[in-house]
Each structure stands twice: as structure tokens, then as C-alpha cells.
Structure 1
Amino acid sequence: MGNPVIKQQLLEILKAIDAICLKEGLSYMMTFGTLLGAVREKGFIEWDDDADLMMLRKDYNAFEARCQGHLAELGLFLDRSERVPNVALVEDPSIMVDLCILDALPKKPLHRKWQNFELKLLQGMMKKDVDYAQYDSVGKLLVFGTSTLGKFMTDAAKLKTYMRISQRANVGGADELFMSNGLYRFIGIPFKKELVAETVRLPFEDLELLAPAGWDQVLRLFFGNDYMTPKRENYYAEI
């Protein structure tokens, strides 16, 4: 069972983000387990104590520029110190809603592969306090190598480089997007623009929050075709 106090605090953060985006004319969408919970449970998945939203880059940039005053009034702040920015409680920054960002994928396959390699390398370089037990022997070597390489750059330099590479194709008007700051395994997954071009409101606990109009296909990308079947472990799709 998840912690009901934490879930209530997360709901308040989600409510605040929704209100700010509505006021500022911006969009966001539920994603990962939050979207899955909305569709399957109409709220939090039973064992979840976190929440995830995603934004198109233009909406995130506008949110970042305009949200600070709104958030401060509510005892919240936008933490941009990590690869995945989050909206967190001032009094307890461990209570937070992650903001995943959608950027354009390069049109040329070779450029996509190179960008994918660069971002995955940087994610490895950003790792701290690595739990090697979760990796096989090859994974241990890769993580050790990349995390060691990362020690030769400051955290700020790695983050700045990551953001620059993520946004490289945004000028070209590509037909496909990707979650540039998301989980390692999902960096290379393309989103057709039409999946996230429009939003719908779905019930989530005592709120109604925005979801991508193509939520079914988005959930299939993350969790596979059987996403409606509850699974406590290994519930992401095999990539």
C-alpha cells in the first residue's frame, strides 16, 4: 500500500500545476504510472507514491518562465537541478511531481541513433551512488565506465550538455517526438505528434487531470498491450 499522506500531498501539487497551466494557457499530460492509474484505477496505483507529468518543450519552457511566483504562493518550487525537473514542496522536497519533456526527434535515422547514444552516455555519466546489484556483468562495466567518465565534468556542465543535445532537432519541425529526459530505456521510443497534439481530461482521485488524447497508444508504448492487467513488478513493456 502507498502512503496516503504522501498521496494527498501529491494530489495538492497536481492540483496546483493544473490550475497554473489553466491560468497561463499551457498544457501538460499525465504519463507513466500516473496515466496508467488514471485509466485503470481512476487514481493512484495502489503501491505508487509518486506522480509523473509530461509537457511539450514549448509548454515546459513557458511554465518554467511563468510559474515561480504561482508556486511560491502555494509553498511549492520548481527544482531544475536534475535531469528531470520537478515541482516539490518547499517544506519537504522529497514530495514532488516529475516533469518529463517531449522534444523533436531528428528526421534522419543516423542522427537519431547518434543523439540516442549521446543522451544514454550522459545519463550514465550523471549516475551517483550506483546500486550495481541491479545490473548484469555487462551492465556493471558500462555503468562503472560511464559514471567514472562523468566525474571529469561538473553536474552543471553535464546537465547543460544534456539539455542542449535534447533540443537539437526542435527547429526542424519533425513529425515524431521523444521523451528526452525520461527513463534510459524509453529515450529512443518515438511518439507520433498526433498522440499528444490534443488532450482530454480523465478522472484522477478527486480531480480531473489532462491526459494525451492518444492515451491508449501511449500506454501500450510504455506498458505493453496488456496494460490493464495489474502487475506489481516488471510492468513496463519489453523494449
Structure 2
Amino acid sequence: MKPGIDYIKLDDEQLKKLQNEMLQLLVEVDRICRKNNIQYFLSHGTLLGAVRHKGYIPWDDDVDIEMLREDYERFCKACESDLNTSKFFLQNQQKDKNYNWVYGKLKLQNTSYVRAGQEHLKLKDGIFLDIFPLDHISPSMSKQKFVLFMCKMFRKILWAPVGKKTLENKYSRMLFKVLSFIPRSMTIRMNDFITRLDNKKNTPFLISNNLFDGHVYKREWYTESIDVDFEGHTFMASKEYHHILTLLYGDYMKLPPVEKREGHCYPTQIKFTDGYEMKLLK
């Protein structure tokens, strides 16, 4: 959903420049994962772009990948020794005390990407790639609903520093102001406990608890990866990408209406690695 405030509208040249920056991040993830035998999967719009366009969806402005929880944790560990820290940094709740999202990001050093409504946040800034961990979830519908509800509540609490500043409804702002007083460390611990409830049970289903869509995936879809072409490079994707994309998008090879061909990150400030900077004029 678009924010109720202004943001930078990228033209085609600026968007391509951003996509090229994010491609560097994807190449670095792939390098580390192949070196350490870690499996990852292109996901969401990035996976759709690889299958339908052999690269970015022309109007896409972010990059998403997924990893099984154990591979996600191995990747974070591998970054301690293998990440090229002169160009990149890994961001998660443990490495950045001001970072509240429940998934990791790989970011470019000496860059900036500030989303609308998040200008006041103190987290370390940069052009980014999202890394979503996948957790097992029970086949029980009631337990699935419980986990989804609880994780949604934890995300709301962690998002409260944004909501209390940006929401148009004053009562909603008041609610999030109250939620912002709940200790961050406690919320993170509770979220970690709930998301990992079924990981030792090896259930036939997976879920990305960090997202609002609530999609439940079959574990068998994430058993084997294949190499796919993306912007002249080769990256990993699920061999069963057809099932995943059908669940997410339905008839995924069909282009959306022109009015829906737009990104969804809504920046107010961007600084690229070459120093070129864009900032919304107030």
C-alpha cells in the first residue's frame, strides 16, 4: 500500500541504476552461499522476474530471497568471515540495535535508501536486499492461525516507532505510541520462540512469518534448487517454482494492468555507490 505522504518517483534510468546496485548484493549472496554450500531461493517478485523476464520485472524496485531457517543462520555466520565488508554489511536485529524487522538485509556500504515515513529511524542505512527465513509450521489450521496471529502482533509492536509517526488516524497513532513502550528485546524473544515452535518437528509445511501475506508453502517445494538466469547471472531458485508462483500470483505469466506496474518501496532519499544522490524536497 502506498504511504499517505510524498516519495520519490524513479524514472526508467534511475530505476535501472537502482536495480544494478541491488544486483551487486545478489551476486555477493550467491558467492557466499555457493562457497559454503548454503541453499537459498529467489522469491516473490524476484523469482517472478527470473521466470517471466529472465531478470527484473521492469518496474520492480527490490530484491527478495528466502532460506530455510537453518540455512539463514548458517549464512549469517558465514558472513562473519566471508562477507566483503568493504562493500557490504549484513543487518539484522542482533547486529543493529535500532533494526526492528524480523528478517535480515544485506546492504551496500556508503549508500542510502530511506523509505517514506522512516526518516526518523536510527537504523544503519543503505540500498538493500531482503533475506527471509522460512520456518516449519504445523499442519493444524488452528495452530497455523495462532502462529500467524501472534507473529503479526509482534511485527506490529516492532513497527510501532513508524506507526506512531506516520499513520493518518490519530487514534491509530496513539495505539502505536503505547505499543512502542513494549520492550524491544522481549518482543524479539517472544517472536523468535513462536516462529521456531515447529522447526524441530520437520513438518510438511513452511511459512515466512515475517510477511503479512500468510501463505503456507509445502516443504517439498524447497527441497531442491535449480539455477535460473537473472540479468546475465545465474542464481538459485526452487525447482518447484511453478507451484510457488501460482500460489502467490495465480496466472503468473500474465502481465498485470498498466496501472499496477509499479514498485512498492517508496523512498524519500537514495544515494548510490557513485555518490549520486536523490532526496525528496520538502
Same fold (TM over 0.5): yes
Is residue 224 of structure 2 the alignment partner of residue 198 of structure 1? yes
What is the SS of the residue equivalent to 2:260?
Answer: coil
- 2:57 is matched with 45
- 1:129 is matched with 162
- Aligned-pair CA distance for 1:42: 0.8
Is residue 33 of structure 2 the alignment partner of residue 21 of structure 1? yes
Q: Is the 8 A contact 2:86 2:109 kept in 1?
A: no
Q: Is the 8 A contact 2:69 2:135 kept in 1?
A: yes
- Structure 2 unmatched runs, 5+: 1-11, 94-100, 112-124, 263-282
Query: TM (normalized to structure 1)?
Result: 0.85
Which has a greater percent of helix? 1
- Aligned-pair CA distance for 1:148: 4.1
Distance of 1:5 and 1:69 partners within structure 2: 29
Equivalence map 1:113-128=2 (5 Å): 113-127=145-159, 128=161
| Seq. identity, % | 25
Q: Could you say which structure has the greater relative contact order, defined with CA pairs below 8 angstroms and 6 or more residues apart?
A: 2
Distance of 2:143 and 2:61 partners within structure 1: 37
Query: TM (normalized to structure 2)?
Result: 0.73
Q: Is the 8 A contact 1:86 1:98 kept in 2?
A: yes
Q: 1:157 to 1:199 in 2, by over 3 A?
A: same
- Aligned-pair CA distance for 1:158: 2.1
Equivalence map 1:1-239=2 (5 Å): 1=12, 3-81=15-93, 82-92=101-111, 93-127=125-159, 128-130=161-163, 131-132=166-167, 147-182=176-211, 184=212, 186-187=213-214, 189-231=215-257, 233=260
Q: CA RMSD, aligned part only? A: 2.3
State the Cα deviation string for residues 159-189 of structure 1 (Å, max 9, x = none): 232222111110111011011212x1x23x2
What is the SS of the residue equivalent to 1:129?
Answer: helix
State the Cα deviation string for residues 130-177 of structure 1 (Å, max 9, x = none): 3446xxx9xx97x65763452232333322322221111101110110
Q: Which amino acid aligns with 1:147?
A: F
What is the SS of the residue equivalent to 1:26?
Answer: coil
- Aligned-pair CA distance for 1:80: 0.2
From the CA coordinates, give the structure whose radius of gyration is larger.
2
The number of residue pairs the alignment matches comes to 226
- Aligned-pair CA distance for 1:209: 0.8
